[in-house]
Amino acid sequence: MNYYNNMHKNIYPSYPYQIDTLYHIIKQSQTDNQVLEYITYSSQYVKVKYKKDKLKEHYQDAHGSYKNVLYNTDGELMSFFPPKTIDTEQFLLSYKNSFYGEELIDGTPFSLFWDKNVGIFGSWQISGYDDIGGKNIIDHAVYSLKELFTTFNNQNLDFLGELNKKYIYHFVFPFCIDTKIKIYLIDVFIVSKIDKQYFISRLFDCPNERNVFISNNSNKTSLCFPQQFTIAECLEKRSQYETINISSKEKGIYLKTNNGIACKVLNTAFAYVHIFQSIQPKHQFLFLELKSTNKLQWASSKNKLLKTIFQTLSDYNDIFLRSIYISYINIFIKKNTRLTDVHEIQQFILNKIHTYYLNTLRPQKQYCTLREVKNMFETFSIEEQMFFLTYPLRDV
């Protein structure tokens, strides 16, 4: 008998997720509902999702606001994306001693489910956030989800043939695609139907099941699994993520509980690189030039796009300076970091700041603050400032 068919034997699910009559509510009153959206795909599927522009901040209904829920046209649950993540501070306050962390993969998420009504014998189906069938071209690629997944399956000795058809699988295709395609398995869900309601448990809530699943797949396929972290490791990473003084290759971490609640902690260094890659250098130079003459507001008062760009650059300019200041504190005050441990660009700026402290501030019995860091940075030319601000892009 297939290994996966016995995998969940004698395990009693905890049902962290519940989906009840969303499909029927929206079908009965499509025009009256202010929060849910009803989308029909061909003649087979109906997707129910929340209207982002209608949700209030931190909106939650009785069982959490799902990214989307997929039904067939008979109202049978086929697949879903779990509830939205909650605010990080709220999460840590409520679950400070009962969570774990998981690597946040930079890529395109999708679910895989078995539909017994497709074809003669049934078929595996792909569901993305915004399409059914995996036809959409994914970011940073020229392939569709379906094409990539088909190639992955062909490269890995009929991977699909080993999967339990009763489960819903959640994967992520990383944006970095090599000749040997790999995907990350994020979660495996088991669905039970009780009195017209669907209760969903997570296979990986049991650590032993996750370990067995990994050991039976990671060696013979290119299937990958996100790295997991302890509470102490999560809190350390959260602290590191507040500056750009860490690798920008880490997107961040998910903090999760065993009852399905989750929050997302993003790496500022990762966001920093992507923001500067997305904004044209001419806008970066213009921002620094206008900032030096206090004309930012004047230049963007009638241009909403430029105002948004300048506000974003202002925020990340502050992050850069705060990162420099924290490096200064750690190296010259706390002495828990060496100067050679930071990037050479930071070393150059930090030496300038410390020289100013030794020659000017210390004789007056004053200390170096974030204000001094900002003032020192503004003594550089616009070209130099731009060169310094964009150094993380050159290390990607």
Average pLDDT over residues 352-363: 95
Nearest Cα to 228, choosing from 248, 201, 204, 249?
A: 204
Query: Structure tokens of 143?
Result: 């392939």
- Round to whole Å and give the CA distance between 70 and 94: 30
Instruction: Examine the fold and report which residue of 268, 293, 324 is the final residue of a domain before the chain moves on.
Output: 268
Residue 72 lies in a domain: yes
Same domain, 387 and 254: no
Same domain, 121 and 247: yes
Same domain, 184 and 243: yes
88-118: per-residue pLDDT in tens? 998 999 898 889 999 999 888 899 999 998 8
User: Which one is predicted more confidently, 15 or 157?
Assistant: 157
CATH number of the domain bearing residue 248: 3.30.470.30
Same domain, 220 and 92: yes
306-332: per-residue pLDDT in tens? 999 999 999 999 999 999 999 999 999
Q: Lowest mean pLDDT: which of 200-204, 275-279, 301-305, 377-381?
A: 200-204
Q: Is 140 helix (H, G, I), strand (E, B) or coil?
A: coil
Residue 250 lies in a domain: yes
* Domain span at 26: 6-268
Same domain, 199 and 296: no
Average pLDDT over residues 36-61: 67
Same domain, 235 and 301: no
Same domain, 340 and 223: no
Residue 274 lies in a domain: no
- Round to whole Å and give the CA distance between 379 and 87: 39
Same domain, 208 and 246: yes
Number of domains in the chain: 2
- Kindly tell me if the per-residue pLDDT of 31 is higher than 50: no
Same domain, 23 and 92: yes
Query: Structure tokens of 337?
Result: 């970091």
Same domain, 261 and 295: no
Q: What is the pLDDT of residue 220?
A: 60
Residue 181 lies in a domain: yes
Instruction: Examine the fold and report which residue of 249, 268, 287 is the final residue of a domain before the chain moves on.
Output: 268
Q: Is 23 exposed, middle or buried (0-12, 13-18, 19+ CB in 10 A)?
A: buried
- Round to whole Å and give the CA distance between 149 and 134: 9
DSSP 81: E
State if pTM tops 0.95.
no
Q: Is 70 helix (H, G, I), strand (E, B) or coil?
A: strand
Same domain, 124 and 221: yes
Furthest-apart CA pair in the chain: how many Å?
Answer: 86
Same domain, 236 and 330: no
